[in-house]
Amino acid sequence: MKKILVAHDGSKLSETALKQAFEIADKFGSSVTVISVVPELYLTELMEMDRLRILETLTEEAQKILDKIKTKTAGSRPVKTIVAQGNPAEEILETAKKLKADLIVTGSHGRHGAQKFLLGSVSSKIVDHAPCTVLVVK
Ligand SMILES: Nc1ncnc2c1ncn2[C@@H]1O[C@H](COP(=O)(O)OP(=O)(O)O)[C@@H](O)[C@H]1O
Ligand SMILES: [Mg+2]
């Protein structure tokens, strides 16, 4: 458990996922990287300029959330943060491969999902395709 990758979408559950990742990191002396992916926008009616502006706003928002995590943990442990753009599950899986992560931690549900489904679409794709162990926090 040397490297832990936490998928963070700003939801309450991903905050819980982060806390649990820290508990594991404390036990195993692991490094923690937090990734937030700004999803692609498929709104075809949008003008390219609007699309870019929305992407920029969402990227800034994600960056702010991760910066807050960094500030909060600054005294206790070093945390790496990554803001990516694209398909969330694919970017998270790609990053896990690149980092050679030993563990990916996600929430079972995210920001906008329907709770009636067993697993969110992002976490379910991660569980299916991950190159390592996955912890799904509920
Ligand atoms: N854009 C994203 N960037 C990083 N992690 C994400 C992203 N979207 C989802 N996740 C991770 O996957 C978990 C489940 O979210 P998701 O599968 O999107 O469920 P829902 O369908 O309920 O939104 C989240 O708690 C978070 O850990
Ligand atoms: Mg979601």
User: End-to-end CA distance of the chain, in Å?
Assistant: 21
CA of 49 to the centre of ligand 1 (A): 27
C-alpha closest to that of 29 among 51, 70, 1 = 1
In whole angstroms, give the CA distance from residue 82 to residue 66. 8
pLDDT digits (tens, 9 = 90+) for 60-108: 999 999 999 999 998 888 899 999 999 999 999 999 999 999 999 999 9
CA atoms within 13 A on the CB side of 93: 15
Using DSSP, state whether 7 is helix, strand or coil.
strand
Which residue's CA is the nearest one to ligand 1's atom 10? Answer: 9
Per-residue pLDDT at 113 exceeds 70: no
Name residue, tokens 């926090």.
137
Band (pLDDT 50/70/90 cuts) for residue 111 is confident
| Euclidean distance between CA atoms 17 and 104, whole angstroms | 10
Relative to the alpha carbon of 14, which ligand is closest?
A: 1
Phi and psi at 84, nearest 5°, equal: -120, 165
Nearest-angstrom CA–CA distance, 51 and 17: 30
- Out of 12-21, 40-49, 73-82, 128-137, least confident range: 40-49
Between 114 and 106, the more confident residue is 106
Q: 129: which 2 tokens?
A: 């395709």
- Among 5, 14, 19, which is best to mutate for testing ligand 1, by the most ligand atoms less than 8 A from CB? 14
Strand order in the sheet with 31-39: 79-86, 31-39, 3-7, 103-107, 133-137
Q: Is the pTM of this model over 0.85?
A: yes
Nearest atom in ligand 1 to the alpha carbon of residue 38 is 1
Q: Is the CB of 13 under 6 A from ligand 1?
A: yes
Residues with CB under 5 A from ligand 2 (ion): 110, 113
Let me know: does 101 contact 133? Beta carbons within 8 Å: no
State the ligand closest to the CA atom of 106. 1
Tell me the residue length of the chain.
138
For residue 50, pLDDT over 80 is answered with yes
Q: 75 CA distance to ligand 1 centroid (A)?
A: 28
